[in-house]
Amino acid sequence: MLYLPIIVSIFSLVFAYFLIGEVKKAPSGSGKQIEISLAIREGAIAFLKREYKTVAIFAILLFFILWLVLGLKTALGFLVGAFFSALAGFIGMMVSTQANLKVAEAAKSGLKEALDLAFKGGSVTGFLVVGLSLLSVSAFYLLTKDFEALIGLCFGASLIAIFARLGGGIYTKGADMGADLVGKIEKGIPEDDPRNPAVIADQVGDNVGDCAGMAGDMFQTYVVSLAAAMLLGKLLFPNLPQAIFLPLILSSIAILASIISTFFVRLPKNQSLIFALSKGLIIAGILSAIGFFPIIFRLAPILKFSPISLYLPVLIGLLISFFIFLITYFFTSKRYSPVKSIALAAQTGHASNIIAGLAIGMKSTLLPVILISIGILISFALSGMYGLAIAVVSMLSLTGLIIALDSYGPITDNASGISEMAGLPEEVRKNTEALDAVGNTAKATTKGYAIASAGLAALVLFSAYTQELLDLGKKVQFVLEDPRVLVGLFFGGIIAYYFASLAISAVGRTASKVVEEVRRQFREIPGLMEGKTRPEYSKCVDIVTKAALKEMVLPALLPVIFPILIGFILGPEALGGLLIGSIIVGIFIAISMTSGGAAWDNAKKWIEEGNLGGKGSFAHQAAVTGDTVGDAEKDCAGPAINPMIKVLNIIALLIVSFLV
Amino acid sequence: MLYLPIIVSIFSLVFAYFLIGEVKKAPSGSGKQIEISLAIREGAIAFLKREYKTVAIFAILLFFILWLVLGLKTALGFLVGAFFSALAGFIGMMVSTQANLKVAEAAKSGLKEALDLAFKGGSVTGFLVVGLSLLSVSAFYLLTKDFEALIGLCFGASLIAIFARLGGGIYTKGADMGADLVGKIEKGIPEDDPRNPAVIADQVGDNVGDCAGMAGDMFQTYVVSLAAAMLLGKLLFPNLPQAIFLPLILSSIAILASIISTFFVRLPKNQSLIFALSKGLIIAGILSAIGFFPIIFRLAPILKFSPISLYLPVLIGLLISFFIFLITYFFTSKRYSPVKSIALAAQTGHASNIIAGLAIGMKSTLLPVILISIGILISFALSGMYGLAIAVVSMLSLTGLIIALDSYGPITDNASGISEMAGLPEEVRKNTEALDAVGNTAKATTKGYAIASAGLAALVLFSAYTQELLDLGKKVQFVLEDPRVLVGLFFGGIIAYYFASLAISAVGRTASKVVEEVRRQFREIPGLMEGKTRPEYSKCVDIVTKAALKEMVLPALLPVIFPILIGFILGPEALGGLLIGSIIVGIFIAISMTSGGAAWDNAKKWIEEGNLGGKGSFAHQAAVTGDTVGDAEKDCAGPAINPMIKVLNIIALLIVSFLV
């Protein structure tokens, strides 16, 4: 039984390798498509290499600090976590940037073929991430049996996650905003127009943000949730190794369920793409629930739980995922009132559109947080903190598919861009655009899931932190009346707000640089606007790369340094408050930004379909403003909150023994 | 000594009466000015009357519920609180709407005369509020000696506060946005142009929002902080009535200091208006600090404190006020980098301007919250929860002047509007515009103060809630690991976000209605654009009045009903978590919205001064968008958070005995 996780994770990697082969086999198309795709690929690889180089400097520094302070094992764990996370992101992105032009080519044959290939391309990243994370946690634990070293591994994954989310987010939205601000608004040329000098940088951004960024983020959530649940198992059930292995076995079953479910993602007769993708998720959930059943019923009595009181949290985890998916869909889909209300507000101008989107973003936090709260209360009531930890592990069941859906986004986005730039026939472009539109919705819904699971994972980490304190013989009470706890809560809010502020203004600054460059090229290169000369794409790529790398450092280091300062200056009570404060405030910021951002995006798309005057109307101009603001929120600042709150909690676990 | 508060509060009212006489004495000017001012006055009175009628329905209902559930005394206290708060707002606004045209007239003589009169007009509301709140609390307590009844009084004040902030905020910004969206953006006519059909509604809004709204809010903060400090004094020092009276005596001294300091608000030789106004605040703070000294040193030993450990919190309260004033000034003044960065971002378009403003708003939370945290830690360390309560009472010292500065805003804003509409000479308009510009900055800085004091007052209320539970014999622990507390914290965040969402979208919806009406008038009334015919001002006034009254009800009732549900369903632990959650999350939302909003406003003003292309440039158009979004944030949703978090805490205190 102990080797099941290792076998399954290797199987997951083999499956990913098989999918890579499938993608490689597909035809690539002709001259211009390949040329454009290559440019994107080169830009993406160049950025990721430079990003990893920057991160490597910090990683090496941190490796030695960890070695000195916590010993070699923890330092090695740190390297393993960082390496595997980076690897998953890198390979996934390599495949994405190959899949994009092949999807454009497949779209010539039809929607069905294109969907099939795009989803396969996305699934590569998905199964790489879950495979590598389960493999690293289970193998590393079996080898070392050392929890501190495992937390080190989580820290390594966290470092990559926060840099990948920030670097990728700043890159993708800096380029996107810069391209749109001049292209769409000043020059009135369409999205993905090859005359726009920032168009390649924009396409590169989709890959480094949505593919590599999301991969790093979910790798971290996966590793961290597993490790925290295992640690809690050890602390709460000192002599029962089953409590440690249960999370690993549940994950193994879920991965098998996910692999099976991918075969059900097929275009139905009514051509509904979103139905095809959701079907995969639902089947994965049901198969997991069935697979968990015998394991839970065998292990629960050993842990002195009634089987049902441990199985219900598992179901709750799956249900939370499912409903958050639905809620996010409601708030971000063109079909429903929230998005339409934003579009309608655009009729009275830019400001009305912004206000409506801000309001919808804030409103969209209500139901997910209620759902999370109910989940917490029930899981706790049934089986205490361990129940919540198991619920979180159960939520992870869908991770492989969720990442697949998210990585599907940049592939189809790129495919659509390549079709546009290569001037493929109208029919092909219609197919790629249909795929792209669904990609946007899919991306939005996966973010709701990512935040909810990150928030709950962080709560499990917090609980591990308090248990560790107890285990170290220090009776620390986190009481709200304690001014240190109270101040800690405030500091948790401070770090969430300051971090989001840094991230969002980094996008703004990067975009400004792109705007200046794009304006310069239109001014100085003769014949560019007429399409007679080619713009200097690489200049824009270079500018965005440099800006993103520079801007990501400060916000990424904030959650590493801040909790150490608070912990040592104000003590473990304040640090505990900080952890909870960052989770509470962070979840609200993240949900409101990602849902609000996606709603703005789709409000614009709804108008572009011909509603309220369609493209070029007054309402459309206002909607473009909302979309641009939303981009910075939903693809950079909002999702970067996820790794941030987990980093804080990991740091707290690493320093806890020095605080007592 | 016990009668000092009553004597001082009556003295404060007499001083306000004297100031009213001064304002009435001033000349009113000629025909057109009076005509415009009358229109504003009528609109303002009509709105306030209808607002109070709506509130009266709820008040009567709540009166009977309170009578039934908590007894007649508490129900009467509720009525007293509601009545005095409404009275202060109403008289203050009556004077403001008279002072506006007299300031316009005085501006003909010079800046000095105009400042003098505008400040006197604002001071009426200031000293009415502090006088009536101190009078109601001290007289009511002396008569009843019943703390539950006193909490009833706080509830009455809270009801008016939340309705006044919401109703006034939705009114003022709905009208303002509506006027700007068509007038400035679509038609290209200047601010306050008499051709704009919404211009009178806009002027009315300044009064009902900034004067009556702020008065209600600060009346609540004053009453609530005093009552909470007194209640804590009773609970922590059962046999020492001095602990109950100390807050009242400190307030009395502070009011005397404030009255003296008004005589120092004079235009200095360098004509710096902001210096003149700040001087008043600094002198009031220094005089209060000196006056507190002998009282604290006499009473501290009786309460078993060393004099210094009770005097330092007093100083901390004053210092927090002072520094928050400075910090908000830095983030919202045209002189410094935050505002300039927003203006610079406007060069690359609407979206960049919005993103920059959002980032600055979030960033501006950092220092005030750190300051509040330091204040909490030191006060607690020196003299426990009572020390924090005394620090909050000390912060209130500046309330009279702060309200004066805030009410100065609508007076000068109106004066500037009247000058513009009545076509007064260029020189006069320059004077009123200079006053108006300072009014904007003053308003922004007072909001930072209002939030900080509201947040700390709410913390004192929370502490009273926990002490009451203890006093009732129920040992309730608010531990972060407790899922009920955790979920309570989440629910506190939910209510803050949902409330802000409702408030901000109410502004958007109201503005949309105004936009439609203004567009209709421009379309249907011939000769309007050419200035040959008068628009139908009253139609706009009527539309805004109805919309504001309708929209304010749901968000106002939310903080009344929600804590009752949570308290009875999930118990006192969850309710405690909710209180703290709403304070933590609420402070961040409120500061980021008010500071960010004011920064957008002044970024636009900075461009209008001729920077980056000046009025009509591309950057200016983008800055107008930011300003409009900021208006909804800084004058409605943001400041309405203050009464909201206090209402939650008051409700908790009212229902606490039923929870055990």
Global pTM reads 0.96
Q: Which of B349, B478, B493 sits opposite A185 (nearest CB)?
A: B349
Cross-chain Cβ contact A628/B351 below 8 Å: yes
Sequential DSSP letters for A294-319: HHHHHHTGGGT--HHHHHHHHHHHHH
Say what the pLDDT of residue B446 is. 86
- Residue A524 neighbours by CB distance under 10 Å: 9
Tens-place pLDDT, residues B191-226: 888 899 999 999 999 889 888 888 999 999 999 999
- Which single residue is written with the structure tokens 């910021």? A589
Please state, in angstroms and rounded to a whole number, the distance separating the CA atoms of residues A230 and A393.
10
Residue of chain B minimizing CA distance to A365: B494
pLDDT exceeds cutoff 90 at B435: no
pLDDT band at A265 (very low <50, low <70, confident <90, very high): confident
Instruction: Please tell me the distance in Å from A630's CA to the nearest CA on chain B.
Output: 9
Q: Residue A489 is encoded by which pair of tokens? A: 């809560």
Instruction: Please tell me the distance in Å from A363's CA to the nearest CA on chain B.
Output: 5
pLDDT exceeds cutoff 80 at B1: no
Instruction: Please tell me the distance in Å from A324's CA to the nearest CA on chain B.
Output: 16
Cross-chain Cβ contact B497/A363 below 8 Å: yes
Instruction: Please tell me the distance in Å from B507's CA to the nearest CA on chain A.
Output: 9
- Residue A7 neighbours by CB distance under 10 Å: 12
Q: ipTM of this complex > 0.85? A: yes
**Can you give the three-state secondary structure of B218-279, one letter per residue?**
HHHHHHHHHHHHHHHHHHHCCCCHHHHHHHHHHHHHHHHHHHHHHCCCCCCCCCCHHHHHHH
Positive or negative: CA dihedral B317, B319, B322, B323: negative
Which CA distances in Å does B523 have to A189, A290, B181, B201, B537?
33, 65, 15, 19, 15
Say what the pLDDT of residue A652 is. 96
CB-based contacts of A610: which residues, under 8 Å, 6+ apart?
none
Contacts of B584 in chain A (CB under 8 A): 489-490, 492-493, 581, 584-585
Mean pLDDT of A212-224: 92
Say what the pLDDT of residue B565 is. 97
- Residue A438 neighbours by CB distance under 10 Å: 22
Mean pLDDT of A285-306: 95
Contacts of B177 in chain A (CB under 8 A): 351-352
Q: Residue A257 is encoded by which pair of tokens? A: 């369920």
Contacts of A624 in chain B (CB under 8 A): 351
Say what the pLDDT of residue B462 is. 95
Say what the pLDDT of residue A20 is. 96
Amino acid at B630: G
**Can you give the three-state secondary structure of A119-156, one letter per residue?**
HHHHHHHHHHHHHHHHHHHHHHHHHHCCHHHHHHHHHH
- Least reliable range by pLDDT among A33-47, B494-508, B576-590: A33-47
Residue in A176, A373, A604, A627 to test binding to B, most B beta-carbons within 10 Å:
A373
Q: Which of B181, B463, B485 sits opposite A351 (nearest CB)?
A: B181
Q: Residue A95 is encoded by which pair of tokens? A: 């495949």
**Of B111, B316, B150, which Cα lies nearest the Cα of B233?**
B150
**Average pLDDT over chain B, rounded to whole?**
93
Would you call A482 helix, strand, or coil by DSSP? coil
Cross-chain Cβ contact B352/A512 below 8 Å: yes
pLDDT exceeds cutoff 90 at A262: yes
pLDDT exceeds cutoff 80 at A271: no
**Of B232, B273, B45, B243, which Cα lies nearest the Cα of B150?**
B232
Say what the pLDDT of residue A240 is. 93
Contacts of B597 in chain A (CB under 8 A): none
Say what the pLDDT of residue A622 is. 95
Count the helix, strand and coil residues of chain B and give each as a percent rounded to the nearest 5.
Answer: 85, 0, 15
- Least reliable range by pLDDT among B8-17, B170-179, B468-477, B549-558: B468-477
Torsion of CA B502, B504, B508, B510, to 10 degrees: 70
Cross-chain Cβ contact B177/A351 below 8 Å: yes
Contacts of A477 in chain B (CB under 8 A): 477, 479
Say what the pLDDT of residue B149 is. 95
pLDDT exceeds cutoff 90 at B278: no
Residue of chain B minimizing CA distance to A356: B505
Say what the pLDDT of residue B405 is. 85
Say what the pLDDT of residue A645 is. 95
Contacts of B355 in chain A (CB under 8 A): 504-505, 507-508, 628-629, 632
Identify the bridge partners of residue B479 per DSSP, sorted by sequence position: A479
Please state, in angstroms and rounded to a whole number, the distance separating the CA atoms of residues B589 and B500.
8
Instruction: Please tell me the distance in Å from B562's CA to the nearest CA on chain A.
Output: 13
Angle between helices B273-299 and B426-471 (to 10 degrees): 20
Residue in A187, A367, A490 to test binding to B, most B beta-carbons within 10 Å:
A490
Residue of chain A minimizing CA distance to B577: A480
Residue in B501, B507, B510 to test binding to A, most A beta-carbons within 10 Å:
B501
Mean pLDDT of A589-596: 96
Q: Which of A360, A588, A626 sits opposite B493 (nearest CB)?
A: A588
Contacts of A385 in chain B (CB under 8 A): 481
Please state, in angstroms and rounded to a whole number, the distance separating the CA atoms of residues B117 and B120.
5
- Residue A56 neighbours by CB distance under 10 Å: 13
DSSP summary character for residue A570: H
Count the helix, strand and coil residues of chain A and give each as a percent rounded to the nearest 5.
Answer: 85, 0, 15
pLDDT exceeds cutoff 90 at A164: yes
Contacts of A372 in chain B (CB under 8 A): 490
pLDDT exceeds cutoff 90 at B21: yes
Residue in A177, A467, A486 to test binding to B, most B beta-carbons within 10 Å:
A486
Contacts of B370 in chain A (CB under 8 A): 494
Contacts of B462 in chain A (CB under 8 A): 480
**Average pLDDT over chain A, rounded to whole?**
93
Please state, in angstroms and rounded to a whole number, the distance separating the CA atoms of residues B368 and B457.
15
Share of chain A above pLDDT 90, in %: 78
Instruction: Please tell me the distance in Å from B182's CA to the nearest CA on chain A.
Output: 8
Q: Which of B355, B477, B508 sits opposite A355 (nearest CB)?
A: B508
Sequential DSSP letters for A533-565: S---HHHHHHHHHHHHHHHHHHHHHHHHHHHHH
Tens-place pLDDT, residues A645-658: 999 999 999 999 99
Residue in B363, B386, B497, B554 to test binding to A, most A beta-carbons within 10 Å:
B497
